[in-house]
């Protein structure tokens, strides 16, 4: 007997690490002090110019979007989805990312698949200016179905305490600016897959007219990072932004209240933006109520930026000058009980 006979291939693991090491090196920033393969990743942050540095961290996964990757055999996008999701989670508190770590677990390790997944992570890390500092690749025979894996990510960022965006300045009358999503991003896939694959019997290659593309292409559209759009505003005009919400699981209904101070609520004008075809398709074909759809999917809004009414036009202008023509006021903050009301 040996370890390989029981389902764990050490040589495959070593080959995966070799491929990952080269990908990770391309993301290294000046703060990285260690190599991939060390027991711990070493990072020295540049704290110059910061009065009271604060570390901001987050962890997340890709959810059952992975099932779409398995069905299509396309593994080069989910790693980027994971990084961008984590980047947005700390961005809403004003932080810029320093480094990222990943956890990839599978029943039988295929080095080429692991390399595709990590290549997506490495690309996204480079685009967001953070280092892929390390991670774990676990081979767990009997735990995952053959050809499947799970993925989780962990990010650490930095912000000066005086520039934290915590929603404390949000007040009635503030405007809600919606930044468009690229699609489902990384939430609502259990329901979307049920509608598309189980109820309608479609395949990844199917191209229903109302969907706006093939099932595989539409469901694998990447999770956007809003860092390059928002970070310049936070750097030189932080007073323009009172609060931010990353619209993930729970949709607008559950995520906006997370940044609303006591005594406030949100009112959203549903006619202020046009729903992308994928959401109209899923709601129609799934027979979903408005309440269910807006609490499950992002419905075309990937992030909400809250701004004082007097600063909203200037902030919208900055977003549009940066190339985001889809930024639009979708509602306002009101007095209330912390809930979201749609009009």
Query: What value does the mean pLDDT take over residues 48-60?
Result: 96
Query: What value does the mean pLDDT take over residues 229-255?
Result: 96
Which domains does the chain show, CATH number per domain? 4-163 (3.30.1330.10), 175-342 (3.90.650.10)
Look at residue 5 and tell me whether its pLDDT is greater than 80.
Answer: no
Q: Tell me what pLDDT residue 9 has.
A: 66
* Nearest in space to 137 (alpha carbons), one of 147, 151, 148, 156: 151
Q: By CB neighbour count within 10 A (0-12 exposed, 13-18 middle, 19+ buried), where does 73 fall?
A: exposed
At 277-303, the pLDDT tens digits run 999 999 999 999 999 999 999 999 999
Q: Tell me what pLDDT residue 6 has.
A: 56
Look at residue 319 and tell me whether its pLDDT is greater than 80.
Answer: yes
CA–CA separation, 221 and 307 (whole Å): 29
CA–CA separation, 106 and 145 (whole Å): 8
How many CA within 13 A on the CB side of residue 192? 29
**According to DSSP H, which parts of 43-188 are helical?**
65-72, 78-91, 111-128
Contact predicate 91/231, CB 8 Å: yes
pLDDT band at 82 (very low <50, low <70, confident <90, very high): very high
**According to DSSP H, which parts of the chain are helical?**
10-25, 65-72, 78-91, 111-128, 189-193, 215-219, 227-236, 251-255, 277-286, 290-296, 309-321
């Amino acid at each position: 007997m040996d370890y390989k006979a029981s389902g764990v291939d050490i040589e495959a693991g070593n080959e995966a690490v070799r491929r990952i090491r080269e990908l990770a090196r391309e993301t290294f920033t000046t703060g990285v002090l260690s190599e991939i393969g060390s027991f711990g990743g070493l990072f020295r942050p540049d704290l110059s110019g910061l009065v009271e540095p604060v570390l901001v961290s987050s962890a997340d996964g890709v959810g059952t979007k992975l099932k779409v990757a398995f069905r299509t055999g396309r593994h080069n996008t989910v790693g980027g989805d994971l990084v961008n999701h984590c980047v947005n989670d700390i961005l809403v508190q004003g932080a810029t990312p320093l480094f990222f770590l990943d956890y990839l677990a599978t029943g039988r390790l295929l080095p080429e698949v692991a390399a595709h997944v990590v290549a997506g992570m490495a690309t996204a890390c480079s685009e967001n200016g953070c280092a892929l500092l390390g991670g774990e690749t676990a081979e767990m025979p009997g735990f995952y179905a053959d050809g499947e894996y799970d993925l989780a990510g962990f990010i650490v960022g930095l912000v000066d305490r005086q520039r934290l965006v915590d929603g404390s300045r949000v007040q009635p009358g503030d405007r809600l600016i919606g930044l468009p999503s690229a699609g489902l991003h990384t939430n609502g896939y259990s329901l979307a897959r049920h509608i598309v694959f189980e109820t309608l019997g479609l395949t990844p290659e199917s191209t229903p007219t109302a969907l706006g593309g093939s099932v595989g292409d539409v469901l694998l559209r990447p999770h956007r990072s809003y860092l390059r759009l928002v970070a310049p505003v936070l750097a030189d005009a932080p007073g323009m932004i009172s609060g931010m919400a990353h619209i993930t699981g729970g949709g607008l209904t559950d995520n906006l209240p997370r940044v609303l101070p006591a005594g406030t609520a949100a009112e959203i004008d549903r006619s202020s933006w046009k729903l992308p075809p994928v959401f109209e398709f899923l709601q129609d074909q799934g027979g979903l109520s408005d309440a269910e759809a807006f609490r499950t999917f992002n419905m075309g809004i990937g992030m909400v930026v809250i701004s004082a009414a007097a600063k909203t036009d200037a902030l919208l202008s900055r977003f549009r000058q940066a190339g985001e023509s889809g930024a639009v006021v979708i509602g306002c903050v009101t007095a209330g009980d912390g809930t979201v009301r749609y009009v």
